[in-house]
């Protein structure tokens, strides 16, 4: 791959809709026009520098691209076709306008974000407004799934279901689970969602696959389904532009497949020589958002990109609306990747924020929940070594007689667990002040109590608590009043 020509490639701005040189070939038929007036800024001379890393198809990319944007049959068999979600409903307007070869419709891309922020936009923000957070479900702690990692090689099925390899070695004692008792919080919301989706993968109900345009019918149907979701969820992104990138053979798409239908996906372009990938589109179908699919998808993507493509970073122009999501996936607005590794390679998009994610070289991305669970166990074990806080004693019997007088006086030192926790009678606290009733010498009692009240007041002053006492009201008399009040 000629990196130089990358750097000298014409500006590929999302705002100007300048297609990547790599797309100019596939787009030559479809890009002859656009209702979005895209500017065909890419120079043919730049084509070579984006030679697709995948095996070329026997079908002409031109024909395919054009066909896919207008072929009703293909649209009708798209993965979302029969679904309640109308992610493919927009395809009727993907017919290209042949009279306009000008791709310079900056506004269509500039309004990409603003329109989606508009609450009146039915496909964008309004659908998001109706999202319902999935309830946190407690996950039963099991020891059986340890070691199942999403290691995988090659394009195709990704994740635990397809994995034969184990993840980066995390060794945990088998018997450690035995001491994992009920009073330890099983998992947080993140882990619960990940565990739940992972179980579905293992049960074969859900799968994550990664394909590019490879002429395999099933993959093509899925890619079209994904394209439809993108078109629906990114309503201001020109549809032919989406088609072009999804079908471009230098792009790959990680897709979520449920009941043979696409639920969502990410289309990215791996720049293998530069060891980074550019995320072009990312979306989950409307009725499945905020259920954890986006997170699991990103985790699969990271693992696949690291293990199969050898990437170390991802860059993306995140839509303003989705910045929060990307931050939760480990993306930052600060770009740490050296500029010479990415500048000139990726497309610029107006209305988006360039974000970066460093891919950890060891993390078992598709099995993070197991890792988190084991870390919890390890921390819990350590705490148990150092303290008895995990032991729960039965409550103290404070049953009272009818007159309200305690049936039996419980000595402090008799409270179950207190001594075991390291308490001794000489410690600061109750033991400094014997109960007034039990003390034989009232003068001693008063002395102790006065000392206690003084120290109490000192603490209160330190914490800037203002206690207003009359000038004539001495501290001793205040304490005395307190003692009397206690005795009363
Ligand atoms: C490069 C680009 O393509 S930018 C455009 C991104 N795509 C879109 O905006 C299309 C519309 N949105 C979507 O398709 C989805 O909502 C996605 C892809 C953004 C996120 O997928 P989801 O399945 O909803 O994400 P998931 O359920 O895993 O949520 C993960 C976390 O991100 C949060 N989150 C999800 N979407 C957003 C958002 N748009 N803004 C802020 N936070 C979000 C969730 O609340 C959740 O937080 P939590 O872990 O604290 O509970």
- The pLDDT tens digits for 209-252 are 999 999 999 999 999 999 999 999 999 899 999 999 999 999 99
Q: Is 155 in the pocket of ligand 1 (CB under 6 A)?
A: no
Supply angle C-alpha 334, 340, 346, rounded to 5. Answer: 70
**Of residues 166 and 438, more confidently modeled:** 438
Confidence of residue 281 (pLDDT cuts 50, 70, 90): very high
**pLDDT reading at 323 higher than 60:** yes
The CA distance from 264 to 246, in Å, is 13
Give mean pLDDT, residues 302-326.
97
Identify any residues that bridge with 262 across adjacent strands, giving them in sequence order: 257
Active-site residue (options: 218, 278, 334, 356): 278
Whole-prediction pTM: 0.58
**pLDDT reading at 167 higher than 90:** no
**Of residues 193 and 462, more confidently modeled:** 193
Give mean pLDDT, residues 271-276.
97
The CA distance from 48 to 52, in Å, is 9
ipTM over 0.90: yes
The CA distance from 162 to 367, in Å, is 13
Q: Is 309 in the pocket of ligand 1 (CB under 6 A)?
A: no
Q: What is the pLDDT of residue 187?
A: 72
Q: Is 293 in the pocket of ligand 1 (CB under 6 A)?
A: yes
Q: What is the pLDDT of residue 34?
A: 30
**pLDDT reading at 412 higher than 90:** no
The CA distance from 455 to 478, in Å, is 13
In terms of Cβ atoms closer than 10 Å to its own Cβ (0-12, 13-18, 19+), residue 128 is middle
Distance 199 CA to ligand 1 centre (A): 21
Q: Is 126 in the pocket of ligand 1 (CB under 6 A)?
A: no
Confidence of residue 423 (pLDDT cuts 50, 70, 90): confident
The CA distance from 283 to 79, in Å, is 15
The number of C-alpha atoms within 13 Å of 446 and in the hemisphere containing its C-beta is: 11
Express each pLDDT in 43-90 by its tens digit.
Answer: 333 333 333 333 333 323 333 333 333 333 333 333 333 344 445 444
């Amino acid at each position: 791959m000629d990196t130089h020509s990358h750097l000298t490639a014409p500006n590929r701005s999302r705002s100007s809709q300048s297609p990547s040189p790599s797309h100019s070939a596939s787009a030559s038929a479809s890009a002859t026009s656009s209702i979005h007036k895209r500017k065909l800024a890419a120079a043919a001379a730049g084509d070579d520098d984006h030679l697709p890393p995948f095996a070329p198809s026997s079908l002409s990319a031109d024909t395919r691209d054009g066909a896919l944007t207008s072929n009703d049959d293909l649209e009708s068999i798209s993965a979302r076709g029969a679904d309640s979600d109308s992610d493919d409903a927009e395809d009727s307007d993907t017919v290209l306008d042949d009279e306009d070869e000008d791709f310079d419709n900056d506004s269509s891309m500039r309004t990409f974000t603003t329109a989606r922020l508009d609450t009146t936009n039915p496909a964008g923000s309004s659908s998001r407004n109706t999202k319902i957070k999935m309830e946190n479900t407690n996950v039963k702690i099991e020891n059986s799934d340890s070691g199942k990692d999403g290691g995988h090689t090659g394009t195709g099925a990704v994740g635990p279901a397809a994995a034969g390899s184990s993840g980066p070695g995390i060794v945990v004692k088998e018997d450690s689970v035995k001491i994992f008792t009920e009073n330890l919080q099983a998992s947080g919301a993140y882990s619960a969602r990940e565990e739940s989706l992972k179980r579905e993968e293992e049960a074969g109900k859900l799968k994550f696959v990664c394909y590019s345009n490879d002429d395999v019918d099933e993959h093509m149907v899925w890619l079209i389904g994904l394209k439809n979701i993108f078109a629906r969820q990114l309503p201001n992104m020109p549809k032919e532009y989406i088609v072009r990138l999804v079908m471009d053979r230098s792009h790959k798409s990680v897709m979520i497949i449920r009941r043979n239908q696409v639920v969502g996906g990410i289309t990215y372009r791996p720049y293998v020589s530069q060891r980074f990938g550019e995320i072009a589109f990312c979306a989950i179908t409307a009725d499945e958002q905020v259920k954890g699919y986006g997170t699991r998808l990103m985790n699969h993507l990271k693992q696949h990109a690291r293990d199969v493509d050898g990437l170390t970073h991802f860059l993306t122009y995140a839509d303003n609306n989705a910045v929060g999501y990307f931050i939760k996936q480990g993306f930052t607005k600060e770009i740490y990747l050296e500029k010479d590794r990415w500048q000139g390679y990726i497309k610029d998009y107006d209305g988006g924020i360039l974000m970066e994610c460093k891919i950890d070289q060891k993390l078992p991305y598709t099995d993070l929940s197991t890792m988190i669970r084991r870390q919890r166990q390890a921390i819990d074990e350590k705490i148990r070594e150092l303290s008895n806080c995990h032991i729960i004693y039965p409550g103290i019997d404070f049953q009272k007689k009818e007159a309200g007088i305690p049936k039996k006086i419980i000595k402090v030192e008799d409270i179950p667990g207190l001594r075991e926790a390291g308490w001794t009678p000489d410690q600061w606290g109750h033991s400094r002040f014997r109960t007034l009733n039990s003390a034989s010498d009232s003068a001693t009692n008063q002395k102790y109590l006065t000392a206690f009240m003084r120290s109490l007041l000192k603490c209160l002053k330190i914490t800037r608590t203002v206690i207003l006492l009359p000038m004539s009201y001495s501290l001793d008399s205040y304490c005395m009043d307190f003692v009397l009040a206690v005795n009363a």
